[in-house]
A = this chain, B = another copy of it.
Amino acid sequence: MSEKRSELVKQLNVEEIRRDFPVLSRKVHGVPLIYLDNAATSQKPMAVIEAMNLFYQRENSNVHRGIHTLSEEATADYEAARKKIARFINAKSWREIIYTRNATESINLVAYSWGLANLHPGDEVLITEMEHHANIVPWQLIAERTGATLRYVPITLQGYLDLDKLNGLLTEKTKMFAFTAMSNVLGTIPPVKMLVEKAHAVGALALVDGAQAVSHMPVDVQAWNCDFLAFSAHKMCGPTGIGALYAKRQLLEEMPPFLSGGDMIRSVWMDHATWNDVPHKFEAGTPAIAEAIGFGAAIDYLQKIGGMEAIHRYEQEIIAAAMTALQEVEGLRMIGPPPEDRGGLISFALDGIHPHDAAAILDQDGIAVRAGHHCAQPSHDRLGIEATDRASFYFYNLPEEIDMLVRSLQRAQAIFHHP
């Protein structure tokens, strides 16, 4: 590994990149932090923190409605960030980007606005067994409210979508096919473009949950041709409190508003109101202004360090190395597909050790992983596993952190099996 390691690390300049992240020099329990919980949320570089500080210290003001200088500057920066996001995923227009709190709210927006207006008894919404709760529960609730039926594409024991079953499930009854572009448990990257095509072939819309994909690989909504894409800033070096929904402009024009209040209206009379242009029609009240600016700074940062293609390649090498190394740990079972079909995360179970206990022991060694069902109970149920530990990498993780992970897991084995 060591030779390849240095090549790999040089490629992205990881040693230098790490200096941009103050938290990465922190110690926990007296040892250096090894942060492997990136699928839950990523760390933030100084460039992002400082962009928000600058906003608060120089031009903090409300947007859109102000004539004074601060408000003009704040509005310009807030809207410039939207354009960065649009370009980042190759949207046709900045009007196709709606700011939300997170990927979860983005999906809820579609479920409430599009779903309540367009779903009827007999209609079907198709999701998959590898979805995050964010792409399950909103559809359960909207199906219940509208009388539509929720169906699932099953997953195979290897952690792939069972594409043989797809044709039977995707019918003219299907009005929406909503699926993740990268599973946050299995790591699986499904064939998004093909799935969108299949949805469109039966007249369904396609919503892609990009919470993991947009943070970890190049995404091009025009190439995918998806109708909606949901993602969060906090998983891609951006701040908490902001996410985005991409939607094709025509759909946004047709959809009724979701949240309502100031800024999303054109005019308000006592008995009714008319709506502002898209995307503003979907953004009610004072938005997360500093956070939007931080989101834009995060995108600048990702591009500056090498771009999503390089980041994705780096993570795929890291995950291949990790999966090889983890085979050394006795009684460790990994779930999901081989490295070439997955993103930079790996979920595993240890014989006789509950994932929480393993995570707690790793924490004593400074290693942060997540334990549980990772907000994806159905995929765990399907694989017959109650919970797992998940190690998830980002471009600032070093190959030697894998070795530390392996050693700490071996310590856990010793504690439980030779107490």
Question: Closest CB of chain B to A256's CB: distance in Å?
Answer: 8
- Residues from chain B with a CB closer than 8 A to the CB of A22 are 56-58
Contact assessment for A108 and B284 in the assembled complex, using a CB-CB cutoff below 8 Å: yes
Given A240-B289, A285-B103, A291-B291: A261 touches B132 (CB 8 Å cut-off): yes
> Which one, B66, B140, B356, B368, contacts A273 given CB within 8 A?
B140
Cβ of A347 < 8 Å from any Cβ of B? no
Contact assessment for A43 and B68 in the assembled complex, using a CB-CB cutoff below 8 Å: no
Contact assessment for B35 and A70 in the assembled complex, using a CB-CB cutoff below 8 Å: yes
Of A23-31, A166-174, A187-195, A312-320, the one contacting chain B is A23-31
Contact assessment for B286 and A370 in the assembled complex, using a CB-CB cutoff below 8 Å: no
- Residues from chain B with a CB closer than 8 A to the CB of A43 are 60
Of A2-10, A371-379, A398-406, the one contacting chain B is A371-379
- What is the 8 Å Cβ interface bit string for chain A, positions 126-150, against chain B (1 contact, 0 not)? 0001001111111011000000001
Q: How many copies does the complex hold?
A: 2
Closest residue on chain B to residue A149 by CB atoms: B271
Contact assessment for B137 and A268 in the assembled complex, using a CB-CB cutoff below 8 Å: yes
Cβ of A360 < 8 Å from any Cβ of B? yes
- Residues from chain B with a CB closer than 8 A to the CB of A269 are 377-378, 381
Provide the bound-state CA to CA distance between A288 and B371, in Å.
22
Cβ of A33 < 8 Å from any Cβ of B? yes
- Which A82-129 residues have C-beta < 8 A from chain B? 101-105, 107-108, 112, 129
- Residues from chain B with a CB closer than 8 A to the CB of A270 are 129, 150, 152, 378, 381
- Residues from chain B with a CB closer than 8 A to the CB of A273 are 133, 136-137, 140
- Residues from chain B with a CB closer than 8 A to the CB of A141 are 257, 260
Given A101-B241, A239-B290, A377-B267: A40 touches B65 (CB 8 Å cut-off): yes
Given A260-B138, A261-B104: A71 touches B368 (CB 8 Å cut-off): yes
- Residues from chain B with a CB closer than 8 A to the CB of A259 are 104-105, 108, 138
Cβ of A67 < 8 Å from any Cβ of B? yes
- Indicate the size class of the contact surface on chain A: 35 or more
Cβ of A44 < 8 Å from any Cβ of B? yes
Question: Closest CB of chain B to A112's CB: distance in Å?
Answer: 8
Provide the bound-state CA to CA distance between A35 and B59, in Å.
11
Cβ of A41 < 8 Å from any Cβ of B? yes
- Residues from chain B with a CB closer than 8 A to the CB of A287 are 101-102, 240-241
Contact assessment for A262 and B68 in the assembled complex, using a CB-CB cutoff below 8 Å: no
Cβ of A418 < 8 Å from any Cβ of B? no
28 residue pairs of the A-B complex, CB under 8 angstroms, read A22-B56, A35-B70, A41-B61, A65-B370, A67-B371, A68-B367, A69-B363, A71-B368, A101-B285, A102-B285, A102-B287, A103-B285, A104-B262, A104-B285, A108-B259, A108-B260, A132-B262, A133-B261, A137-B264, A137-B273, A141-B257, A232-B286, A240-B241, A240-B286, A240-B289, A241-B242, A241-B290, A288-B288
Q: Which residues of A contact B (CB under 8 A)?
A: 22-23, 26, 28-29, 33, 35, 37, 40-41, 43-44, 48-49, 52-53, 56-62, 65-71, 101-105, 107-108, 112, 129, 132-138, 140-141, 150, 152, 232, 234, 239-242, 257, 259-265, 267-273, 284-291, 356, 359-360, 362-363, 367-372, 374-375, 377-378, 381
